[in-house]
Structure 1
Amino acid sequence: MSFKQTEPYFDLNSRTKRVQCSYFDLLKKPIEIYLFIDPICSKSWALNPYIKKLQLEYGRFFTIRPILYSKLLKINQQMIDNPDKLQQLANKVNRQKGRCTERQPLIENSIKYPADILFAIKAAELQGTKAGRRYLHKVQERLFLSHADISIDEGLIQIASEANLDVEEFKRDLHSNSARKALQCDLKVSKEMEIDQTPSIVFFSESEEDEGLKISGSYGYDIYVKVLTTLLQKDIKPFNKPDIEDFISYYRFISSNEIAIIYDWSLKKADREMKKLQLKQIVSQVQIDKDFYWHYNK
């Protein structure tokens, strides 16, 4: 069975095996989603509004497990510890056709020591799934919006503070064996599920004991809803989305484009609704490049 969204298409019979790692426990819901992302990948960043929307409308059906994957992880530990060799490899990967990150300044500034960024994300996850995702989102904001170099410990620790983590615990975990083992687990899962690009998503249903459905690449929102419907074998209705003020009070910093996608609004309507909140001094507007972002003030 297959379906398509114009071009390209993917096959619903694309199956993979479930891989378990002991460090991560999931709540029992009908669907488990393994989300393979590269934190320095612009395509992974662009998937965020679709994942947020999916959680708001259908989160009662699934749990999400973020998995870190990068071509730069296909190297041995010795090379990770050698900055010069690692930078040579990074430059080679970024020159490849169809590279994930399009912004050359970001490439030069941010992946000189990519392992530190990856370990930091896993260290944040040790404080809980939500803490890890808050930290990951802050990392991506720094990379894609500020174009900042966060490859040194001071920058990574500052992000932990901004993400409301226990900073002292984060410092202890940043270079710990626990964070290293968590990253090694991600590598194992990626290898076993034959992941070769980001973003990729694997859906597991409780009715299918071991097999999962893998979708490589980015697709429109309706595709992900269709997969959920297919795996659940029933029609599913979306929850009503929260009031826009409640939404931005939770995420605190978001673009007009994300709001438009999540609320099914035009970009003009998203700007108009946010300007209403701006007049009430609930949000502040920030322009980055040509895009408008909104920061929650309270």
Structure 2
Amino acid sequence: MNLKRHSFEECNQELGICGISDSRERLPLKKPIEIYLFIDPLCQECWSMEPIIKKLQIEYGHYFKVRILLAGKLSHWNAFDRSLKKRNQREQTLDPTMCCAGNVELNKMDLHPYNAFMAVKAAELQGPRAGLRFLRKLREALFLKKCNVTDEAILKECSQEAGLDEDVFLADLHSATATKALQCDIQTTSEMDVESVPSLVFFNGNSEEAGIKISGSYPYHIYEQLLEDMLGHKPERASHPQLEAFLCHYGFLATSEIATVLDKSPEEVERSLKTLMLQQKVEAVPFKYGTFWKWIA
């Protein structure tokens, strides 16, 4: 399939996202590879890919930039089709790669997915990094605290935890600009024929060449090989960060994320983290399927 990226860029140019003002965070400089990552914020499998995406960005982020797009259908958001609830419920019952608080019973929540999607786009209007922080807090609220992340009060709490300008966020939550940004994601999702999440589409620097789409999640070496194939040479891997620097930067990470990124076993990581806990630099936050670690130093 001939996957083109022009429509997404045109939408962003129309919104002014590519030429964002100095008061907001700048987008990355041009890199050889561009990756479109299609997700559903309420999807367990997308959440489980967090360690892989972090590792890819840390080791090879100097070769690519990532655009996160929200994949969904208005028919699902308007009525939240029960088949979608059942699909998500099946995903939540799987033994996850990324730890969570156990089975998140979406079918028992009064969910309005459109609200969560709009909230992510509203957060992104405060800059791409702000959008990522908010997306992370939204997922933590859902998968760790089992909160209804389509409720505006919960979304407000997520914005506070992500360090957003709360008043701006609440105004943007119902704005035409956020609506149009979401419409761009919907349009791109349709044009690229993305039917499942997570999906990644890789593009190289030549805008005339078609992208390569991968649907679902795969072992890390598959993404490494794809980068090598698209670059035409073996990419140089960046060195791993030190454990303390890694935790300090992100603030709140699962054992599985740290182990994946640093190429260590979970047992080895936990031994090091318990040492940091004795030094009162981190605290452990246990959940049913694993432990998160909060940087407090």
Contact 2:38 2:199 in 1 (8 A): yes
- Worse-superposed segment, 274-283 or 147-156: 147-156
Please name the residue that 1:292 is paired with.
291
Cα deviation, residue 57, structure 1:
0.7
Partner of 1:68: 70
> Aligned residue for 1:6?
none
1:78-89 map, 5 Å: 80=78, 86-87=79-80, 89=81
SS at match of 1:75: helix
Deviation of 1:108 (Å): 2.9
3-state SS in 1 of match to 2:58: helix
Partner-residue secondary structure (3-state), 2:189 = helix
SS in 2 for 1:234: coil
1:40/1:101 contact within 8 Å kept: no
How many residue pairs were aligned?
Answer: 274
In structure 2, relative to structure 1, the CA distance for the partners of 1:58 and 1:146 (3 Å cut) is same
Structure 1 residue 153: Cα displacement: 1.3
The corresponding residue for 2:44 is 42
1:230 aligns with 229
Q: 1:144-163 deviations in whole A, cap 9, x for unaligned?
A: 11111222211111110100
Give the Cα separation in 1 of the matches to 2:87 and 2:154.
29
- Could you tell me which residue of structure 2 aligns to residue 145 of structure 1? 144
Q: Which runs of 5+ in 2 are unaligned?
A: 19-26, 94-101
Query: Which string of whole-angstrom CA distances, capped at 9 and with x for unpartnered residues, describes residues 95-120 of structure 1?
Result: 35995444764313556111111100
SS at match of 1:60: coil
1:31 corresponding residue in structure 2: 33
Deviates more, 1:141-150 or 1:185-194: 141-150
1:265 aligns with 2:267: no
- Paired residues of 2:85 and 2:106 also in contact (CA < 8 A): yes
**Counterpart-to-counterpart distance in 2, 1:97 and 1:36:** 16
1:220 is matched with which residue? 219
- 2-structure distance, mates of 1:213, 1:163: 33
Please say if residues 2 and 210 of structure 2, whose CA atoms lie closer than 8 Å, have aligned partners that are also in contact: yes
Q: Structure 1 pair 175/136, CA: closer, same or farther in 2 (3 Å)? A: same
- 1:29 maps to a residue whose letter is K
For structure 1, the residue ranges without an aligned partner over 5 or more in a row are 1-13, 81-85
> Quick check: 1:93–1:99 contact (8 Å CA) kept in 2?
no
Superposition pairs for residues 1-298 of structure 1, below 5 Å? 16-18=3-5, 19-20=7-8, 21-22=11-12, 23=15, 24-25=17-18, 27-70=29-72, 73-75=73-75, 80=78, 86-87=79-80, 89=81, 91-95=82-86, 100-102=91-93, 105-108=104-107, 110=109, 112-298=111-297
Give, in whole Å, the separation in 2 of the partners of 1:127 and 1:93.
Answer: 30
SS of residue in 1 equivalent to 2:163 = coil
Secondary structure of 2:3's counterpart equals strand
User: CA offset at residue 207 of structure 1?
Assistant: 2.9
2: CA distance, partners of 1:188 / 1:99: 27
RMSD of Structure 2 on Structure 1 (CA): 2.0
**Partner SS for 2:68:** strand
In structure 1, what is the Cα distance between the partners aligned to 2:39 and 2:175?
22
Pair 1:110–1:283, CA change in 2 (3 A): farther
Contact kept? 1:283, 1:296, Cα under 8 Å: yes
Retained in 2: the 8 A contact 1:110–1:150?
no
Mean Cα displacement is larger for which, 150-159 or 185-194?
150-159
Per-residue deviation, 1:92: 2.6
Letter matched to residue 16 of structure 1: L
Counterparts of 2:92 and 2:40, CA distance in 1: 10
| TM-score, normalising length: structure 1 | 0.86
How far apart, in 2, do the equivalents of 1:129 and 1:199 lie?
A: 19
SS at match of 1:292: strand
The one-letter amino acid paired with 1:161 is: Q
Distance 1:145 1:172 in 2: 27
